[in-house]
Amino acid sequence: MSDAAPGLSHLGLTGDGDEIFMLGAVEAAFDIKIGDSARQLENVGDLHRLVLEHLTAKGSSTEDTWPRLCTVIAHETGAPADRIRETTEFLDDTPPPSRVKIFIQAVVYLAALGGLAWLFAWLGRVTTAP
């Protein structure tokens, strides 16, 4: 049995600009400019290959690129570095819950809180009864 942690399916980025900050950190860490190439990136493997291309073109060492890349990504996204794989996608494409589902969950939670409040009030009356 393998001791390796399971890989992440995505980094949890939502496409609201947080991926821009992550790519900026990668550019700074490797002293490269990703530019318009970022539009073609879908997963960490794509980014890794792009970083390797830039480093090779500069004549820089590519020896420890993967662990450094995972460390930068983990720092920027909060994802555990040991679970980042080449197939790990940047964006979480899971659809957000519907407003109706959120409303129903809120009603259930409020009902549960109301039930607890009633229970504590009842227990307070029972324990203070003569």
> What does pTM read for this prediction?
0.68
Contacts of 81 (CB under 8 A, 6+ apart): 67, 70, 71, 73, 74
Question: pLDDT tens digits for 36-80?
Answer: 888 889 999 999 999 999 999 999 999 999 999 999 999 999 999
Residue 21 pLDDT > 70, yes or no? yes
